[in-house]
Structures are given as structure tokens and as C-alpha cells.
Structure 1
Amino acid sequence: MLRVQEICKQQGITMQDLAKRMGVTYQALYAAVSGNPTIGKLGEIARALDVSVKDLLDEPKEDTNSITCPHCGGKIHFDGEPCTPDHENIRGKEYYK
């Protein structure tokens, strides 16, 4: 997720203000921010906010060797052999092994 809304809040502007700065509609900006923006669009947003593209990206998570299971919220670790939480009554749990 991009940090555009967070940066706007820090700068005391709204997403509508940012859209005006960029010369686009709010809907176009929202679609870019909530979708998969191109590097060019990220550059435009960064310039309008006077930040770097890197500043727009989420901070890296401390634990980069795992993800959170969407079914149970447990950690799935990838340091070596995948280690998964015990999935009770979850259809498709065989794919986690």
C-alpha cells in the first residue's frame, strides 16, 4: 500500500488538493493510488508532494522472511523449509505444506 494519504495528512492537504496539484481528477488519482500505479505515475505523485518515490512506498516489515496467512493470521516462514501454522478446517490447507 502506498503512503500517499499519510503524506498528504502530514502536509496538511487533502487527496483532492493533491489531484489539483497534479492536474488530474480525484477519481484518477484514487484509482492510481489504490491500484498498481506505473513508475511514471509514482514519479508524478512524488513530485506533487515534493517527496521521493521511495517515500511513497510502505516501510519494509521487520520480518521479511514470512508472510501472514490470510486464513488464520498465523506466520508462514520462508527461511529454509516453509513452516506454516496448523490450519484447522481450512479448505485447501494442503497447499500450505
Structure 2
Amino acid sequence: MGLIIKDVLKKKNISINEFADMLEINRVSLSSQINGNPTIETLEKWANLLEIDVSELFEQKQTTINCPNCGTKISLSVNSQ
């Protein structure tokens, strides 16, 4: 599961610099956290600031299956609510 914080920020029209300011850290520190292994506490802080669920910070896996009756490909994905 990959971290998609940059995609989330883009959807919310927030730049990396703006997000770093919201977190009261510099851009370099934020980039290190994004590209490293952020703690669950860090992820929770990001999610709270962005008003989203922590699970939305991760890419959602999509799986394709074939219908056993007609052979049609069906795409499945798991979304948080």
C-alpha cells in the first residue's frame, strides 16, 4: 500500500509548502516524512488537518475479476466511508 499524500493535497488544492506551513514544519522535513516511514501519529495529524480518514492517505488497491457466468471483467475496489 503506497502513501498518496501528494494526490490528496492536489485534490484539496494545497501545495506541499502550504501543507508544511499548516504542520508548522519546513518543506524539507515534510518531504522527508512523506518519502520515509511516517508514524501513525504523523498520519493521524495529517488526516486531521486535511479533514479525511487516515485510510484516504493510502492508495486503494483495485482488483479485476471475471464473472463466472458471462466472462465480463469486473473491477473491484475498497473505499473507506
TM-score, normalised to structure 2, is 0.70
| 2:32 counterpart of 1:18 | no
Query: What residue is the counterpart of 1:57 in the other structure?
Result: 58
Runs of at least 5 residues in structure 1 that lack an aligned partner in the other structure = 64-97
**Alignment length, in residue pairs?**
63
Per-residue deviation at 1:29?
1.0
With a CA cutoff of 8 Å and minimum separation of 6, indicate the structure with the bigger relative contact order: 2
Mapped partners of 2:31, 2:50: distance in 1: 15
Mapped partners of 2:29, 2:43: distance in 1: 13
Partner of 2:10: helix, strand, or coil? Answer: helix
Q: Percent identity?
A: 24
What's the RMSD between the two structures over aligned residues?
Answer: 1.3
| 2:1 counterpart of 1:3 | no
TM-score, normalised to structure 1, is 0.60
Cα contact 1:42–1:53 (8 A) shared by 2 = yes
Per-residue deviation at 1:55?
0.4
Per-residue deviation at 1:20?
0.5
